[in-house]
Amino acid sequence: MVIGALALICWAGVLLHPARPWDLRPIDAEEPPAPEPDVWPDVGVVIPARNEARTIGPTIAALDQQDYPGDLRVVVVDERSSDATGDVARAMARVTSRQVRVVTGEALPDGWAGKVWGMEQGLRVVEADREPPEWLLLTDADIHHSRDGVRRLVASALEGGVGLESRMARLHCHSTAERLLIPPFVLFFSLLYPPRWANRQGSHTASAAGGCMLVRRDALAAGGGLGSLRGALIDDLAVARLIKYRAGLPTRLALSRDRVVSTRTYDSMGPVWTMVRRSAFTQLRRSWLLVAGVALTLLLMFAGPLVAVMAGTVGVATGSGSTGALALGVGLAGWAAMAITSGPVTREFGLAWPWRLALPASGVLYGAMTVDSALRGPRGGGWR
Protein backbone atom coordinates (compact mmCIF):
# COMPACT_ATOMS: atom_id res chain seq x y z
CA MET A 1 0.00 0.00 0.00
CA VAL A 2 2.83 2.40 0.84
CA ILE A 3 4.65 1.65 -2.43
CA GLY A 4 1.43 2.16 -4.40
CA ALA A 5 0.70 5.42 -2.58
CA LEU A 6 4.17 6.80 -3.31
CA ALA A 7 3.83 5.87 -6.98
CA LEU A 8 0.40 7.54 -7.12
CA ILE A 9 1.85 10.72 -5.60
CA CYS A 10 4.59 10.74 -8.25
CA TRP A 11 2.12 10.38 -11.12
CA ALA A 12 -0.18 12.99 -9.64
CA GLY A 13 2.82 15.33 -9.53
CA VAL A 14 3.51 14.65 -13.22
CA LEU A 15 -0.09 15.38 -14.18
CA LEU A 16 -0.10 18.58 -12.12
CA HIS A 17 3.29 19.78 -13.40
CA PRO A 18 2.89 23.48 -14.30
CA ALA A 19 4.63 23.00 -17.68
CA ARG A 20 2.26 20.15 -18.67
CA PRO A 21 5.09 18.28 -20.41
CA TRP A 22 2.98 15.15 -20.90
CA ASP A 23 0.82 16.87 -23.56
CA LEU A 24 3.93 17.22 -25.82
CA ARG A 25 3.10 20.79 -26.87
CA PRO A 26 4.07 22.67 -28.91
CA ILE A 27 3.44 20.53 -32.01
CA ASP A 28 4.32 22.17 -35.32
CA ALA A 29 1.28 20.87 -37.24
CA GLU A 30 -1.05 22.64 -34.82
CA GLU A 31 0.57 26.04 -35.27
CA PRO A 32 -0.31 28.55 -38.00
CA PRO A 33 2.52 29.34 -40.41
CA ALA A 34 4.71 32.24 -39.39
CA PRO A 35 4.67 35.34 -41.62
CA GLU A 36 7.24 35.12 -44.39
CA PRO A 37 10.09 37.64 -44.43
CA ASP A 38 10.71 40.07 -47.27
CA VAL A 39 14.21 38.68 -47.72
CA TRP A 40 15.03 35.03 -47.06
CA PRO A 41 18.42 34.43 -45.42
CA ASP A 42 20.93 31.95 -46.83
CA VAL A 43 20.94 28.55 -45.13
CA GLY A 44 23.81 26.07 -44.99
CA VAL A 45 22.80 22.47 -44.26
CA VAL A 46 25.40 20.31 -42.48
CA ILE A 47 24.88 16.53 -42.38
CA PRO A 48 27.44 14.38 -40.52
CA ALA A 49 26.99 10.80 -41.76
CA ARG A 50 28.54 7.51 -40.75
CA ASN A 51 27.36 4.23 -42.30
CA GLU A 52 24.13 5.77 -43.59
CA ALA A 53 24.13 4.41 -47.16
CA ARG A 54 20.49 3.39 -46.86
CA THR A 55 19.17 6.75 -45.68
CA ILE A 56 21.49 9.47 -47.01
CA GLY A 57 20.09 9.39 -50.57
CA PRO A 58 16.45 10.11 -49.62
CA THR A 59 17.63 12.74 -47.13
CA ILE A 60 19.56 14.65 -49.82
CA ALA A 61 16.69 14.25 -52.29
CA ALA A 62 14.23 15.77 -49.81
CA LEU A 63 16.52 18.76 -49.24
CA ASP A 64 16.94 19.20 -52.99
CA GLN A 65 13.15 19.41 -53.37
CA GLN A 66 12.69 22.15 -50.78
CA ASP A 67 10.57 25.12 -51.83
CA TYR A 68 12.84 27.44 -49.84
CA PRO A 69 13.03 30.80 -51.67
CA GLY A 70 16.54 31.68 -50.48
CA ASP A 71 19.90 30.06 -51.08
CA LEU A 72 20.13 26.57 -49.63
CA ARG A 73 23.43 24.71 -49.85
CA VAL A 74 24.24 21.29 -48.43
CA VAL A 75 27.44 19.80 -47.03
CA VAL A 76 27.62 16.07 -46.26
CA VAL A 77 30.54 14.92 -44.12
CA ASP A 78 31.25 11.24 -44.67
CA GLU A 79 32.70 10.22 -41.32
CA ARG A 80 34.95 7.39 -42.50
CA SER A 81 31.98 5.12 -43.24
CA SER A 82 32.61 1.43 -43.84
CA ASP A 83 29.67 1.23 -46.24
CA ALA A 84 28.80 3.18 -49.41
CA THR A 85 27.60 6.33 -47.65
CA GLY A 86 30.09 8.58 -49.45
CA ASP A 87 29.45 7.02 -52.86
CA VAL A 88 25.68 7.36 -52.51
CA ALA A 89 25.99 10.98 -51.38
CA ARG A 90 28.30 11.87 -54.27
CA ALA A 91 25.97 10.20 -56.77
CA MET A 92 23.08 12.24 -55.41
CA ALA A 93 25.15 15.44 -55.51
CA ARG A 94 25.65 14.98 -59.25
CA VAL A 95 21.90 14.96 -60.00
CA THR A 96 20.58 17.60 -57.58
CA SER A 97 19.63 21.11 -58.61
CA ARG A 98 20.95 22.67 -55.39
CA GLN A 99 24.59 22.81 -54.38
CA VAL A 100 25.53 19.61 -52.53
CA ARG A 101 29.12 19.05 -51.46
CA VAL A 102 30.43 15.78 -50.02
CA VAL A 103 33.65 15.79 -48.02
CA THR A 104 35.53 12.89 -46.50
CA GLY A 105 35.90 13.30 -42.78
CA GLU A 106 39.31 13.47 -41.19
CA ALA A 107 40.47 11.21 -38.36
CA LEU A 108 38.80 11.94 -35.06
CA PRO A 109 41.08 14.12 -32.90
CA ASP A 110 41.54 13.35 -29.23
CA GLY A 111 38.85 14.86 -27.06
CA TRP A 112 36.22 15.14 -29.79
CA ALA A 113 32.94 13.24 -29.99
CA GLY A 114 32.35 11.88 -33.47
CA LYS A 115 29.15 13.68 -34.40
CA VAL A 116 30.39 17.04 -33.08
CA TRP A 117 33.60 16.59 -35.10
CA GLY A 118 31.53 15.83 -38.19
CA MET A 119 29.47 18.99 -37.69
CA GLU A 120 32.61 21.02 -37.10
CA GLN A 121 34.13 19.86 -40.40
CA GLY A 122 30.93 20.71 -42.27
CA LEU A 123 30.84 24.11 -40.59
CA ARG A 124 34.41 24.82 -41.72
CA VAL A 125 33.42 24.09 -45.32
CA VAL A 126 30.42 26.42 -45.05
CA GLU A 127 32.43 29.21 -43.45
CA ALA A 128 35.05 29.02 -46.21
CA ASP A 129 32.46 30.21 -48.75
CA ARG A 130 32.81 33.72 -50.11
CA GLU A 131 29.47 34.61 -48.49
CA PRO A 132 28.83 32.23 -45.59
CA PRO A 133 25.14 31.63 -44.80
CA GLU A 134 23.46 33.38 -41.91
CA TRP A 135 21.80 30.20 -40.67
CA LEU A 136 22.94 26.61 -40.26
CA LEU A 137 20.63 23.61 -40.42
CA LEU A 138 22.32 20.84 -38.46
CA THR A 139 20.47 17.68 -39.38
CA ASP A 140 20.97 13.92 -39.48
CA ALA A 141 21.44 11.57 -42.41
CA ASP A 142 18.21 9.72 -41.58
CA ILE A 143 15.89 12.74 -41.49
CA HIS A 144 13.30 13.48 -44.17
CA HIS A 145 12.29 17.14 -44.41
CA SER A 146 8.94 17.90 -46.04
CA ARG A 147 8.94 20.15 -49.09
CA ASP A 148 8.00 23.23 -47.02
CA GLY A 149 10.00 22.15 -43.97
CA VAL A 150 12.98 24.51 -44.22
CA ARG A 151 10.83 27.46 -45.27
CA ARG A 152 8.48 27.01 -42.29
CA LEU A 153 11.42 26.47 -39.95
CA VAL A 154 13.22 29.66 -41.01
CA ALA A 155 10.03 31.75 -40.93
CA SER A 156 9.29 30.55 -37.39
CA ALA A 157 12.85 31.33 -36.23
CA LEU A 158 12.77 34.84 -37.69
CA GLU A 159 9.36 35.60 -36.21
CA GLY A 160 10.41 34.40 -32.75
CA GLY A 161 13.80 36.11 -32.82
CA VAL A 162 15.48 32.93 -31.62
CA GLY A 163 19.04 31.74 -31.97
CA LEU A 164 17.99 28.11 -32.28
CA GLU A 165 14.82 26.61 -33.78
CA SER A 166 14.61 22.85 -33.35
CA ARG A 167 12.15 20.08 -34.18
CA MET A 168 11.93 16.66 -32.60
CA ALA A 169 11.57 14.37 -35.61
CA ARG A 170 8.61 12.07 -35.91
CA LEU A 171 10.06 8.68 -35.00
CA HIS A 172 9.20 5.41 -36.71
CA CYS A 173 6.62 3.49 -34.67
CA HIS A 174 5.34 0.33 -36.35
CA SER A 175 7.14 -2.73 -34.98
CA THR A 176 6.26 -4.18 -31.58
CA ALA A 177 9.56 -2.94 -30.13
CA GLU A 178 8.88 0.58 -31.47
CA ARG A 179 5.34 0.66 -30.09
CA LEU A 180 6.59 -0.42 -26.69
CA LEU A 181 9.59 1.91 -26.49
CA ILE A 182 9.33 4.88 -28.85
CA PRO A 183 6.26 6.71 -27.42
CA PRO A 184 7.63 6.41 -23.85
CA PHE A 185 11.00 7.70 -25.12
CA VAL A 186 9.29 10.85 -26.43
CA LEU A 187 7.30 11.19 -23.21
CA PHE A 188 10.36 10.78 -20.99
CA PHE A 189 12.30 13.36 -23.02
CA SER A 190 9.45 15.83 -22.60
CA LEU A 191 9.26 15.14 -18.86
CA LEU A 192 13.01 15.66 -18.45
CA TYR A 193 13.10 18.82 -20.58
CA PRO A 194 9.60 20.38 -20.62
CA PRO A 195 9.36 22.19 -23.97
CA ARG A 196 7.33 25.09 -22.56
CA TRP A 197 10.09 25.79 -20.05
CA ALA A 198 12.88 25.19 -22.57
CA ASN A 199 11.23 27.73 -24.89
CA ARG A 200 11.01 30.37 -22.17
CA GLN A 201 13.93 32.75 -22.03
CA GLY A 202 15.32 33.02 -18.52
CA SER A 203 14.35 29.50 -17.48
CA HIS A 204 16.97 27.00 -16.37
CA THR A 205 15.86 24.44 -18.98
CA ALA A 206 17.46 24.27 -22.42
CA SER A 207 16.62 21.62 -24.96
CA ALA A 208 16.85 20.74 -28.64
CA ALA A 209 16.53 17.66 -30.84
CA GLY A 210 19.71 16.80 -32.75
CA GLY A 211 17.92 15.59 -35.86
CA CYS A 212 16.86 19.11 -36.79
CA MET A 213 18.53 22.22 -35.37
CA LEU A 214 18.38 25.55 -37.22
CA VAL A 215 21.07 27.75 -35.64
CA ARG A 216 22.17 31.32 -36.22
CA ARG A 217 25.79 31.03 -37.26
CA ASP A 218 26.85 34.21 -35.45
CA ALA A 219 25.13 33.02 -32.26
CA LEU A 220 26.98 29.72 -32.43
CA ALA A 221 30.27 31.61 -32.79
CA ALA A 222 29.38 34.01 -29.99
CA GLY A 223 28.78 31.07 -27.66
CA GLY A 224 32.22 29.63 -28.33
CA GLY A 225 31.56 27.53 -31.42
CA LEU A 226 31.40 23.78 -31.74
CA GLY A 227 34.97 23.53 -30.52
CA SER A 228 33.78 24.43 -27.04
CA LEU A 229 31.46 21.38 -27.18
CA ARG A 230 34.03 19.02 -28.68
CA GLY A 231 33.54 16.22 -26.17
CA ALA A 232 29.74 16.40 -25.98
CA LEU A 233 28.11 13.02 -26.58
CA ILE A 234 24.67 14.64 -26.22
CA ASP A 235 25.29 17.27 -28.86
CA ASP A 236 21.75 18.67 -29.13
CA LEU A 237 21.46 19.63 -25.47
CA ALA A 238 24.98 21.06 -25.57
CA VAL A 239 24.13 23.27 -28.57
CA ALA A 240 20.90 24.43 -26.91
CA ARG A 241 22.75 25.42 -23.75
CA LEU A 242 25.41 27.20 -25.75
CA ILE A 243 22.85 29.34 -27.59
CA LYS A 244 20.62 29.99 -24.59
CA TYR A 245 23.18 30.51 -21.83
CA ARG A 246 26.41 31.61 -23.53
CA ALA A 247 25.03 33.53 -26.52
CA GLY A 248 22.03 34.73 -24.48
CA LEU A 249 19.44 34.12 -27.19
CA PRO A 250 16.06 32.37 -26.93
CA THR A 251 15.72 28.82 -28.21
CA ARG A 252 12.63 26.97 -29.35
CA LEU A 253 11.77 23.27 -29.57
CA ALA A 254 8.59 21.75 -30.98
CA LEU A 255 7.48 18.23 -31.78
CA SER A 256 7.11 17.59 -35.49
CA ARG A 257 4.18 15.57 -36.73
CA ASP A 258 4.96 15.28 -40.43
CA ARG A 259 7.48 17.93 -41.56
CA VAL A 260 10.56 16.40 -39.95
CA VAL A 261 10.43 12.60 -40.00
CA SER A 262 13.04 10.03 -39.02
CA THR A 263 13.50 7.22 -41.53
CA ARG A 264 15.40 5.03 -39.06
CA THR A 265 13.60 1.86 -38.03
CA TYR A 266 13.91 -0.18 -34.85
CA ASP A 267 12.72 -3.69 -35.61
CA SER A 268 13.92 -5.04 -32.30
CA MET A 269 14.73 -3.79 -28.82
CA GLY A 270 18.50 -3.95 -29.35
CA PRO A 271 18.99 -0.73 -31.37
CA VAL A 272 16.88 1.28 -28.91
CA TRP A 273 18.85 -0.18 -26.02
CA THR A 274 22.12 0.83 -27.71
CA MET A 275 20.82 4.35 -28.38
CA VAL A 276 19.92 4.89 -24.72
CA ARG A 277 23.09 3.25 -23.44
CA ARG A 278 25.24 5.68 -25.42
CA SER A 279 23.95 8.75 -23.64
CA ALA A 280 22.16 7.89 -20.39
CA PHE A 281 25.23 7.75 -18.12
CA THR A 282 26.62 10.95 -19.65
CA GLN A 283 23.24 12.64 -19.26
CA LEU A 284 23.38 11.75 -15.56
CA ARG A 285 26.78 13.44 -15.31
CA ARG A 286 28.45 10.02 -14.90
CA SER A 287 27.22 9.94 -11.32
CA TRP A 288 26.44 6.56 -9.82
CA LEU A 289 24.36 8.31 -7.19
CA LEU A 290 22.13 9.82 -9.88
CA VAL A 291 21.95 6.48 -11.69
CA ALA A 292 20.77 4.80 -8.50
CA GLY A 293 18.23 7.56 -7.88
CA VAL A 294 16.84 7.39 -11.41
CA ALA A 295 16.68 3.58 -11.41
CA LEU A 296 14.85 3.50 -8.08
CA THR A 297 12.48 6.27 -9.15
CA LEU A 298 11.62 4.46 -12.39
CA LEU A 299 11.12 1.21 -10.49
CA LEU A 300 8.84 2.93 -8.00
CA MET A 301 6.79 4.88 -10.53
CA PHE A 302 6.32 2.11 -13.09
CA ALA A 303 6.42 -1.11 -11.06
CA GLY A 304 4.97 0.36 -7.85
CA PRO A 305 1.32 0.43 -8.99
CA LEU A 306 1.55 -3.19 -10.18
CA VAL A 307 3.12 -4.28 -6.89
CA ALA A 308 0.24 -2.62 -5.03
CA VAL A 309 -2.35 -4.19 -7.32
CA MET A 310 -0.90 -7.68 -6.91
CA ALA A 311 -0.47 -7.32 -3.15
CA GLY A 312 -3.97 -5.90 -2.79
CA THR A 313 -5.47 -8.69 -4.88
CA VAL A 314 -3.77 -11.30 -2.72
CA GLY A 315 -4.90 -9.46 0.40
CA VAL A 316 -8.52 -9.35 -0.71
CA ALA A 317 -8.41 -13.03 -1.71
CA THR A 318 -6.98 -14.07 1.64
CA GLY A 319 -9.44 -11.98 3.62
CA SER A 320 -7.07 -9.32 4.96
CA GLY A 321 -9.92 -6.84 5.00
CA SER A 322 -9.67 -3.14 4.31
CA THR A 323 -5.87 -3.10 3.99
CA GLY A 324 -5.91 -5.33 0.93
CA ALA A 325 -8.75 -3.36 -0.65
CA LEU A 326 -6.99 -0.08 0.00
CA ALA A 327 -3.74 -1.35 -1.53
CA LEU A 328 -5.67 -2.58 -4.57
CA GLY A 329 -7.43 0.77 -4.94
CA VAL A 330 -4.22 2.78 -4.60
CA GLY A 331 -2.46 0.55 -7.12
CA LEU A 332 -5.27 0.85 -9.66
CA ALA A 333 -5.36 4.62 -9.16
CA GLY A 334 -1.60 4.87 -9.82
CA TRP A 335 -1.89 2.70 -12.91
CA ALA A 336 -4.79 4.83 -14.15
CA ALA A 337 -2.78 8.04 -13.60
CA MET A 338 0.07 6.47 -15.56
CA ALA A 339 -2.30 5.60 -18.40
CA ILE A 340 -3.76 9.12 -18.42
CA THR A 341 -0.26 10.61 -18.58
CA SER A 342 0.64 8.47 -21.59
CA GLY A 343 -2.62 9.21 -23.40
CA PRO A 344 -1.39 12.14 -25.53
CA VAL A 345 1.76 10.37 -26.71
CA THR A 346 -0.02 7.13 -27.61
CA ARG A 347 -2.64 9.12 -29.54
CA GLU A 348 0.11 11.09 -31.29
CA PHE A 349 1.58 7.83 -32.59
CA GLY A 350 -1.83 6.41 -33.49
CA LEU A 351 -1.69 3.55 -30.99
CA ALA A 352 -4.75 1.86 -29.50
CA TRP A 353 -5.51 2.55 -25.85
CA PRO A 354 -4.26 -0.84 -24.50
CA TRP A 355 -0.71 0.34 -25.23
CA ARG A 356 -1.12 2.81 -22.37
CA LEU A 357 -1.29 -0.14 -20.00
CA ALA A 358 2.13 -1.33 -21.22
CA LEU A 359 3.91 1.72 -19.80
CA PRO A 360 5.08 -0.14 -16.66
CA ALA A 361 7.08 -2.55 -18.84
CA SER A 362 8.52 0.35 -20.85
CA GLY A 363 9.60 2.23 -17.75
CA VAL A 364 11.30 -0.79 -16.18
CA LEU A 365 13.14 -1.48 -19.46
CA TYR A 366 14.40 2.10 -19.66
CA GLY A 367 15.58 1.79 -16.07
CA ALA A 368 17.56 -1.31 -17.03
CA MET A 369 19.03 0.55 -20.05
CA THR A 370 20.15 3.36 -17.75
CA VAL A 371 21.90 0.95 -15.38
CA ASP A 372 23.52 -0.81 -18.34
CA SER A 373 24.78 2.54 -19.62
CA ALA A 374 26.55 3.09 -16.32
CA LEU A 375 27.96 -0.43 -16.25
CA ARG A 376 29.25 -0.55 -19.82
CA GLY A 377 29.67 3.12 -20.70
CA PRO A 378 28.66 5.04 -23.85
CA ARG A 379 30.17 2.61 -26.36
CA GLY A 380 30.03 3.76 -29.93
CA GLY A 381 29.06 7.30 -29.08
CA GLY A 382 32.39 8.65 -30.26
CA TRP A 383 32.31 7.14 -33.79
CA ARG A 384 35.81 5.77 -33.18
**153-210 pLDDT tens trace:** 999 999 999 999 999 999 999 999 999 999 999 999 999 999 999 999 999 999 999 9
Helix (H, G, I), strand (E, B) or coil at 48: strand
CA-closest candidate to residue 164, choices 130, 203, 214:
214
pLDDT in tens, 38-55: 999 999 999 999 999 999
- Side-chain half-sphere exposure of 133, counting CA atoms within 13 A: 26
Measured distance CA(82)–CA(92) in Å, rounded: 18
pLDDT in tens, 11-39: 999 999 999 999 999 999 999 999 999 99
Residue % of the chain over a pLDDT of 70 = 97
The predicted pLDDT at position 323 comes to 83
Lowest mean pLDDT among 95-104, 218-227, 373-382: 373-382
Measured distance CA(12)–CA(242) in Å, rounded: 33
Domain extent listing, the chain: 2-19+283-375, 25-179+192-265
No. of helices (H) and no. of strands (E), the chain: 15, 9
Q: In the CATH scheme, what is the homologous superfamily, with its name and number, of domain 25-179+192-265?
A: Spore Coat Polysaccharide Biosynthesis Protein SpsA; Chain A (3.90.550.10)
| pTM, rounded to two decimals | 0.94
Cβ atoms within 10 Å of 127's Cβ, excluding its own: 13
The distance between the two most distant Cα atoms of the chain, rounded to a whole number of Å, is 82
User: Are the CB atoms for 141 and 55 separated by under 8 Å?
Assistant: yes
pLDDT at 377 over 70: no
Rg of the chain over Cα atoms, rounded to whole angstroms, equals 22
- Residue 258 confidence class, pLDDT cut points 50, 70, 90: very high
